[in-house]
Chains A and B, each alone.
Chain A
Amino acid sequence: MYSITASKNRHSENMKSNRFIIAKRRILKNYDLYLLFIPTLAYFLIFHYGPMYGLQIAFKDFISIKGITESPWVGFKHFERFFNSYQAWPVIRNTLILSFYNLLAGFPAPIILALLLNQTNNRYFKKLVQNITYAPHFISIVVIVGMMRIFLSPSTGLVNEIIDFFGGERVFFLANVDYFKHLFVLSAIWQNTGYSAIIYLATLSSINISLYEASIADGASKIQRIWYIDIPGILPTAAILLILQAGRVMQLGFQKAFLMQNPLNLEASEIISTYVYKTGLLAAQYSFSTAVEFFKSVVNLALVLTVNYISKALRQSTLW
């Protein structure tokens, strides 16, 4: 039926209505798919686009009884207040330091683990190390931070017992401004390295075996094989993962920073998201905190787009 109508109507206006008919036919044909999709659509509309609508309070003075729409516009007032406040710079700096430190230290760890695991000849040992190292990934952040408090306790913690045993001075790690970032990053490495290594191990196992056979025939040592076969083999995967992670740098986890926080380390542990939580939900400065987080989201979006652009450029020229 469609081809008959198409041949009859040659004018552009009719072509348009033709496209409409085709679209209608395609929609009608799969009408039940659209029905299946309604819950998903509704979910994203309400729970994701809803808050986006609420973002306007960053430019308003939100008054509860008036609601989001009726509250008066105030322009960039809240942004100005944030950038003029003495907290702005420390909070931004802490977020950046923790994010980049986390990224730079956390990124090579799973690669090294995967390379080492790939070289073990003992299959059972390999499996054992793998299964144990990705177990911490399942542990909740609350428990991780709770364990840190137990092991790092200045009076009874295992770490301080060891320091004490070797005649050192006991350290109150969690109350120390300088140690905070190291603890934050090291615990992340402890928790995530094994899990992140999975993808590298899979990439390594997909490397063509004849490369190894040829290199062994040529007398290459294991270190040479790692250097000339393994590393170039996982480089494309590593590059993509690095780029993806770099795009997520500003979305630093709220939970761990918040749980590790105490009045003594606040100077180093207050990041944008914990600051937003406190000013927004605890102190009920809704508009102000929304403005602060909006700033973060915009920076983050800019990062994601830049990183996406770089990755596209790279994929075209070097990766493939």
Chain B
Amino acid sequence: MVAKSRTTQDRIFDLVNYIILGAILLSVLYPLYFIIIASFSDPDYINSGKVWLFPKGITLEGYGRIFRDDSLIRGYRNSLVYTSLGTTINIILTLTGAYVLSRRDLYGRKLFTIFILITMFFQGGIVPRYLLIKSLGMTNTIWAMVLPQAIMVWNLIVTRSFFETSIPDELLKASYIDGCTNTRFFVSIALPLSKAIVAVMVVFYGVWHWNSFFDPLIFLQDEKKYPLQLVLRSILIEAEVQSTMLDDTETAAVMERIADMIKYGAIILASLPVLFVYPFAQRHFVQGIMVGSVKG
């Protein structure tokens, strides 16, 4: 039907459209692809601009050097711990909070909602927040990584909207008649019906924790507790090379060459977990946005 009514103008449009979209696709894909091939290539070839489409002078030296020093691996391990514990806390608090707020028969529901929404529009700021965490004795501990962001208001609202729209009131009434308590209803009826939103929230919070940079920067002083992103910052942005990654005899020029190799490898290693969950996550991300937009 559509094909029949295609005019020359439409054909030109299609052609231009594919060219533009192809260009957009390449502009996103190529930098990512380049990092991958560069991480396997000899830096001399990269720096002389000879690495374009395929890795040249294939070497795993960059990765080898990374594993010589334990800072990145330690960062990795720290990030895994912060992410899993943080996300668990996020999920428990967000689900219970959102469920309670979604109950229309809750006395004081509006007051609670306003109480929470205010914090979205007005915050105390960096310094009062820092002073608070310090006075709670949480600085330089794992608690500063997982508690200050235990609930994100936007995610709470999205989850509440989900409960409001997908758990029918009739279900609640029926369970009441059968003598089911609120807690029981939440745990054994509402939650099993909400797997989709739980998945979305795990992804939202998990990616947030994994990529989190600001909280560790201000709350952690001990380098041994640094998560991956802070380690990456020193490798990628401050261009610091740990002495253990180098041999004693290496000159400044060689050091720079090694620093480059380490950068590519570090980016790949840091992005692996995210790449790993990506196929699973992207579907849920779309869902999450849609749930949020229903009632923003």
Q: Smallest distance from the beta carbon of B223 to chain A beta carbons, Å?
A: 16
Tell me if B213 is interfacial: C-beta within 8 Å of chain A: yes
Q: Find residues 9-47 in chain A having any chain B CB closer than 8 Å to their own CB.
A: 23, 26-27, 29-30, 32-37, 39-41, 43-44, 46-47
Q: Smallest distance from the beta carbon of A179 to chain B beta carbons, Å?
A: 17
* Stretch from B26-34, B54-62, B244-252 that touches the partner: B26-34
Per the bound structure, the CA–CA distance linking A150 and B62 in Å amounts to: 15
Question: Could you say which of B20, B263, B278, B282 has the most chain A C-beta atoms within 10 Å of its C-beta?
Answer: B282
Per the bound structure, the CA–CA distance linking A216 and B10 in Å amounts to: 11
Instruction: Write out the residue numbers on chain A whose beta carbons fall within 8 Å of the beta carbon of B214.
Output: 254-255
Instruction: Write out the residue numbers on chain A whose beta carbons fall within 8 Å of the beta carbon of B148.
Output: 47
Tell me if A167 is interfacial: C-beta within 8 Å of chain B: no
- Chain B interface, number of residues (Cβ within 8 angstroms): 91
Per the bound structure, the CA–CA distance linking A49 and B118 in Å amounts to: 10
Instruction: Write out the residue numbers on chain B whose beta carbons fall within 8 Å of the beta carbon of A223.
Output: 9, 13
Contact of B18 among A51, A120, A147, A294 (CB under 8 A): A120
Tell me if A222 is interfacial: C-beta within 8 Å of chain B: yes
Contact of A51 with B105 at beta-carbon distance under 8 Å, contacts A132-B29, A135-B278, A142-B229 already known: no
Tell me if B145 is interfacial: C-beta within 8 Å of chain A: no
Contact of B127 among A149, A194, A280 (CB under 8 A): A280
* Stretch from B63-71, B162-170, B181-189, B192-200 that touches the partner: B181-189
Instruction: Write out the residue numbers on chain A whose beta carbons fall within 8 Å of the beta carbon of B267.
Output: 143, 146-147
Closest to A35 in B: B183
Q: Find residues 122-174 in chain A having any chain B CB closer than 8 Å to their own CB.
A: 125, 128-129, 131-143, 145-147, 149-151, 155-156, 158, 161, 165
Tell me if B271 is interfacial: C-beta within 8 Å of chain A: yes
B211 touches A141 (CB 8 A): yes
A50 touches B9 (CB 8 A): no
B293 touches A290 (CB 8 A): no
Tell me if A319 is interfacial: C-beta within 8 Å of chain B: no
Contact of A221 with B10 at beta-carbon distance under 8 Å, contacts A132-B25, A255-B214 already known: yes
Instruction: Write out the residue numbers on chain B whose beta carbons fall within 8 Å of the beta carbon of A134.
Output: 282, 285
Chain A interfacial positions (CB closer than 8 Å to B): 23, 26-27, 29-30, 32-37, 39-41, 43-44, 46-55, 57, 68, 113, 116-117, 119-121, 125, 128-129, 131-143, 145-147, 149-151, 155-156, 158, 161, 165, 190, 194-195, 198-199, 202, 216, 219, 221-223, 240, 244, 254-255, 259, 273, 276-277, 280-281, 286, 289-290, 293-294, 297, 301, 304
